[in-house]
Structure 1
Amino acid sequence: MSYVGPDFDPPQPRRNRRRTLTVALAALVPGALLGWVVYEAVSSPGDGGSSGNAAVRLSPSSPSNTAPTISATNDDKPPGPTPTPESTTTSGPLKGKVVVIDPGHNPNNFQHTAEINRKVNIGTNWKECDTTGTSTNDGYTEAKFTLDVAHRMRTLLEKQGATVEFTQDGDRSWGPCVDERAQIGNKAHADAVVSIHADGAGTGQRGFHVILPGKVNAGAANTEPIVTPSRDLGERIAGSFVRVTGSAPSNYVGDGTGLVTREDLGGLNLSTVPKVFIECGNMRDSKDAALLTSGAWRQKAAQGISEGIANFLER
């Protein structure tokens, strides 16, 4: 999405500084009084004790109860390195909750095709360990996108008191494989796991969708205990993602609901804790790609997903 910059007025003739200062002060006094009056009116106890913060309204299809809004910035760069344990927030509404973020793919996978092409057991059958992921037509990779959004999410969730773990942080030479990604969430006894992705569909196919686990009971896979809570998690993420980013649900899968159920993904089949995937948009569509490559939009995506997680954990 492009933004038109401000128009600049030509330089104005120099004015008498003392006169300008006098006029400015005269204008500020009534303005300050008016601001005080408005503040008193908004914060008065007549609105049920509200402090004047605007209520957040979800779309009709979104969950009815929402967690407190997590503040966000529009910085084009993701947050810095993970804080040390001493500086990590230990209090907040998500204190005691464990969230595992699974940034899809790995920036180094393309250098290790033999390793990522080996087959692993996903319960129902055998599939490749991992893939390289997709990219925009200009070369912005899915692996770079997922890590950026994951870093932004970690900052937002840790500020709420959550303990956040990653399945990978670009610190491995390749992988992990899809079965290991599931095991990381299981071993952490995560309260919620979200796998971050961006799709590689055809031009004109736009929008996001959240992938939910279907009922699978084969071999090492048994998703029956997590199907219901995972759907709850996915619905809350979809609702907040629409509200925060303004993006529409996918126009090519999910029948406009933004929700898709699958039984062929090892990361879901082997999970024993609530888990969903989110395809944040289509990297191969120019309009979606313009959003996915925007730092400001990625911040909104991180906030939308994080608020959905917080909503689920505080239910």
Structure 2
Amino acid sequence: MVAIGLVLFTACGVETPAPTPSIPPAQSASSAPATSSVPPSSAKPPSSTSQPPPPTQQPKTGKVVVLDPGHNGGNSGRPGEINKQVPAGRGKTKPCNTTGTATNSGYPEHAFTWDVSQRISEALSAKGIRVILTRRNDTGVGPCVDERAAIGNEANADAVVSIHADGSNSAGAHGFHVAYSAPPLNAQQGEPSTKLATALRDGIRAGGFPTSTYLGSNGLAPRADLGGLNLSTRPAALVECGNMRNAAEAAAMASEEGRQSYAAVIAKAIEDYLAG
């Protein structure tokens, strides 16, 4: 994902707890019409503080989804905090977090994951699904990988989905992949997590996004080194939405239309998983 290290691991009605203190709800990103293909625009989008109208209230489903927007906007300014070693599962430790990657024009991964996660949370909340995010905004530090995993565990989440983007400089590297913990360390990392990962892969691919040409196989990537997945006791998967160093995918990620397209297909895939 990123050269400096891959680490794991809102909308009306969305809850956002912190690892230790409580986290107030974050503001929703403005929405744009979903499309089934990625637009070619390469312009870096301006920040927006405008808010969409609240979604129509839907009956509660009883389902809980934890969304984990990768990295955080304040990480680069607090190296001492994000470089401290924390448990990462399988008897290993890893740095608390990393800064994430960016497009060649400077659009950062942390901003992309934050925006897409808010859009997903808005879509799911409109369907009566309770959504919790692992961080409150895009200006903070962390949380650490073990704290992010704990949020999903403590919420007894029906699904935990971490949103990331990759930063490969390999020639021609493009496409998305979905990671899950393997070999599994508990029952929820077995069939439930592989089912979640497969539902995400199928939904994103059906939305017109190509699978990765450089990591995993057929859009799926079993991993033993991702702390947030290793430490999860709930069905969990990590989506690498694409390669920010690929010109076409970078343009899509930096555009509002592109981010809405990613969010729409991921939200639909999560709904499909929960209904299965």
Range class of TM-score, shorter chain? 0.7 to 0.9
**What is the root-mean-square deviation of aligned Cα atoms in Å?**
2.4
Q: In 1, distance between residues paired with 2:274 and 2:50?
A: 25
What does residue 89 of structure 2 align with?
A: 123
Q: Does 1:313 align with 2:255?
A: no
- Identify the residue that residue 241 of structure 2 maps to in structure 1: 280
Contact 1:72 1:303 in 2 (8 A): no
Within a 5 Å distance, the mapping from 1:211-290 to structure 2 comes to 211-216=179-184, 222-244=185-207, 246-255=208-217, 257-290=218-251
**C-alpha separation between the residues in 1 aligned to 2:145 and 2:249?**
26
8 Å CA contact 1:147–1:169 kept in 2: the answer is no
Instruction: Provide the residue aligned with 1:89 in structure 2.
Output: 57
Give the match for residue 14 of structure 2.
Answer: none
2:73–2:139: 8 Å Cα contact kept in structure 1?
no
Query: What is the deviation of 1:236?
Result: 0.9
- What per-residue deviation string (whole Å, max 9, x for no partner) do you get for residues 7-31 of structure 1? xxxxxxxxxxxxxxxxxxxxxxxxx
Find the partner of 1:102 among 54, 68, 72.
68
Number of aligned positions between the proteins: 234
Q: Deviations over 1:9-67 (max 9, x none)?
A: xxxxxxxxxxxxxxxxxxxxxxxxxxxxxxxxxxxxxxxxxxxxxxxxxxxxxxxxxxx
> In structure 2, how many angstroms separate the alpha carbons of the residues matched to 1:214 and 1:233?
14
Q: Structure 1 length normalisation: TM-score?
A: 0.69
Quick check: 1:214–1:223 contact (8 Å CA) kept in 2? no
| SS at 1:122 equivalent | strand
Q: Secondary structure at the match of 2:175?
A: coil
How do 1:137-216 residues align onto structure 2 when only pairs under 5 Å count? 137-170=104-137, 173-202=140-169, 203-216=171-184
AA of the residue aligned to 1:233: L
Give yes or no for contact 1:215–1:223 (8 Å, CA) kept in 2.
no
Aligned partners of 1:110 and 1:163: how far apart in 2? Answer: 31
Structure that is richer in helix per residue:
1
- Work out the CA distance in 2 between the residues paired with 1:82 and 1:128: 37
Post-superposition shift, 1:209? 0.3
Shift of 1:162: 0.3
Report the residue type matching 2:244 in the other structure. Answer: M
Structure-2 separation of matches of 1:171 and 1:288: 22
After superposition, give the CA deviation of every residue in 1:108-133 in whole Å (9 maximum; x if it has no partner). 10011110000001122011000000
Counterparts of 1:206 and 1:303 in 2: how far apart (Å)? 20
Residue 292 of structure 1, CA deviation:
1.2
Unpaired stretches in structure 2, ≥5 consecutive residues? 1-30, 36-44
1:59-74 residue pairs with structure 2 within 5 A?
73-74=33-34
Give SS of 2:190's match.
helix
Would you say the 8 A contact 1:79–1:152 is kept in 2?
no
Q: Confirm or deny: 8 A CA contact 2:88 2:230 kept in the other structure.
A: yes
Cα distance in 2, alignment partners of residues 83 and 186 from structure 1: 32
- How far has the Cα of 1:224 moved from its partner? 3.6
Percentage of pairs with the same residue: 44
In 2, Cα distance between equivalents of 1:78 and 1:224: 42
| Aligned counterpart in structure 2 of residue 132 of structure 1, from 99, 116, 128 | 99
The structure whose Rg is larger is: 1
